[in-house]
Amino acid sequence: MEICKLEHIRKDYIMGETVSPLKDATLTVNSGDFVTVEGPSGIGKSTLLYVMGTMLQWEAGTYTFEGRDVAAMTDNEKSDLRAEKIGFMFQDTNLIQALTLRENLIFAQQVGGKKADKDKVDELLMEFDLLDRGDFFPHQLSGGQRRRAMAARCLIHNPLLILADEPTNDLDGIWAEKIIQMLKREASRGAGVVMVTHNTHWAKQANRRCYLEDGALFPVTEETAAL
């Protein structure tokens, strides 16, 4: 089942001159896909995820989610889409600083008027070894704990699409492995996973690998992987 499709997406930034990190980006994500996006820093990988997460508008091309034209959606419809079907694991662990970790997860559950499921919250806190940190505020957590908290928040509503930007940063080898296995598990249950990474070891865990170059996406081959 197709979850989303980008076709010939161009995204510009005006920075004295026009910079286009995405010029002709095309990508289809199907149910069960675990896709990596690779390439050097600053080339536009995070921009791609923000477009896919409906948080950045693009200048040209089309983006559809479950067959719907995202550009034709209202801001409220995009907000509902993010709250109900997209899970984010971005490099900035943007937890709400005024809320405890447990309250952050409950808040994420309740976006869109849904009821809180405290058992689900505790289940996720336990999965990521954060149950004893549930009443801590984000600034009281270590970098690795905040990263794991973002993984827990990402899963709070069983997202259809997971967008993960360097999700193993700040994590030791054991937890990095657990996060990758979690992403593989989510793909196996039918979600689509798109992960930005510089780590070749973790990239090899995906079933599809792409690299971003000159604003377009290309499949990673044996030749390009050796570069």
The pLDDT tens digits for 125-171 are 999 999 999 999 999 999 999 999 999 999 999 999 999 999 998 89
pLDDT given for residue 225 in this prediction? 57
Count Cβ atoms below 10 Å from residue 112 Cβ, excluding itself: 11
- 100: helix, coil or strand? coil
pLDDT given for residue 78 in this prediction? 95
Joined together, the tokens standing for residue 82 give: 């993010």
Residue 193 bridge partners (DSSP): 34, 162
- Is the CB of residue 4 less than 8 Å from the CB of residue 161? yes
pLDDT given for residue 36 in this prediction? 97
pLDDT given for residue 221 in this prediction? 76
Instruction: Report how far residue 160's alpha carbon sits from residue 186's, in angstroms, rounded to the nearest whole number.
Output: 9
- Is the CB of residue 59 less than 8 Å from the CB of residue 10? yes
Instruction: Report how far residue 148's alpha carbon sits from residue 47's, in angstroms, rounded to the nearest whole number.
Output: 23
Low-confidence ranges of the chain (pLDDT < 50): 226-227
Phi-psi region of 173 (alpha: psi -120 to 50; beta: other; left: phi over 0): alpha
Task: For the chain, list the domains and their CATH numbers.
Answer: 2-221 (3.40.50.300)
pLDDT given for residue 37 in this prediction? 97
Q: Map tokens 């030791």 to a residue.
A: 172
